[in-house]
Amino acid sequence: MVYLTLLICFIASIIITPIVKKFAIKIGATDKPNHRKVHQKIMPRLGGLAIYISFIIGLLILNPYNASAIPIIIGSVIIIVTGVLDDLFELSAKIKLLGQVAAALVVVVAGGVQVDYINLPFDGQIHFGIFSIPLTIIWIVGVTNAINLIDGLDGLAAGVSSIALITISAMAFLKGDIFVLSVALIVLGSTLGFLVYNFHPAKIFMGDTGALFLGYIIAVLSLLGFKSTTMISLIVPVIILGVPISDTFFAIIRRIVHKKPLGAPDKSHLHHCLLRVGFSHRQTVLLIYAIAALFGVAAVIFSMATIWGAMIIIGVLVLIIEVTVEKIGLVGKEYQPLLRLLSGKNENN
């Protein structure tokens, strides 16, 4: 029944997206080109509404029972309202953040989705105590914004989110977590249906309505079941979301290095850098899909590895990320500490 619902959500999204497109144009929810954006013509946004409606259809069909279900739905309504208003009126960053925090609060406080403590790899525990709630809220808000930040090319956020949802579904299947598996597959089907219209050349954008919703639901699903867990298990969601988290992390580093405000927009995100290197629009998106899939596979292997195996995987991933960042100039053209170190060693040899 779960997999049939995925198919229903996929078809529903394909049917609903053109309707939402016409609605977006009618009410003026459009994205205009500017110096930071890649598209060259006015595009309807609000596509995330099609994803969300399909998601709700899936929930009504499956009706998965879980104590967190109602708070998750209430939080999603807050996120969707925030996204729709932003797509219509371009809300200030503070108002958007307020909406995200409110949605996270509902899930954390009413739904009990939070990490209370972690077991350390070799011995002992870390209890978060009063910091459990704020740390979980920071995670949800952080991932929500990370998905929003990579929404810069046709099909990019939808594709990367789909890969993350596939990974979460696989992990949930292995753990026997029917609720997380059901919700993840419902969102996956809804997102893939939208991607039919959003892949390059896009006919509609998901807008903040879609990016905020996908970031929110992925953040929540990745935390479910981690109320008390090991340090190793807690790293799994970070690996699953390796692409958006890395892009956001290095965006912060880039702004600190160049002494710019953290909230200042720029044209130096991962997809911008790959375009500058010479990849086409479609090639850039597919390459980032491949990177996201690599992180997904690494997360599954990581979850089944021994402690030492997990540490080796982390080391390899960090090395790959750092070399890639320096090669494409994600922080800046002059930021190449590792490459300089390696070239220095080669010269000495």
Encode pLDDT of 155-198 as tens digits.
Answer: 999 999 999 999 999 988 988 889 999 999 999 999 999 999 99
Question: Please, are residues 214 and 160 in contact by the beta-carbon 8 Å criterion?
Answer: no
Which residues are CB-contacts of 151 (< 8 A; sequence separation ≥ 6)? 157, 205, 206, 210, 211
Question: Please, are residues 305 and 313 in contact by the beta-carbon 8 Å criterion?
Answer: yes
Q: Is 148 annotated as a binding residue?
A: yes
> What is the C-alpha to C-alpha distance for residues 74 and 56, in angstroms, rounded to an integer?
12
Strands 117-119 and 228-230: parallel
> Which 3 state secondary structure label does DSSP give 117?
strand
Q: Is 66 annotated as a binding residue?
A: no
Number of domain units in the chain: 1
Share above pLDDT 90 across residues of the chain, in percent, rounded to a whole number: 55
Q: How far is CA 325 from the centre of its chain?
A: 19
Q: Torsion angle, CA of 190/191/194/196, rounded to 10 degrees?
A: -110
Segment 84-92 mean pLDDT? 93
Range of the domain at 155: 2-348
> What is the C-alpha to C-alpha distance for residues 218 and 143, in angstroms, rounded to an integer?
8
Q: Residue 31: what pLDDT?
A: 81
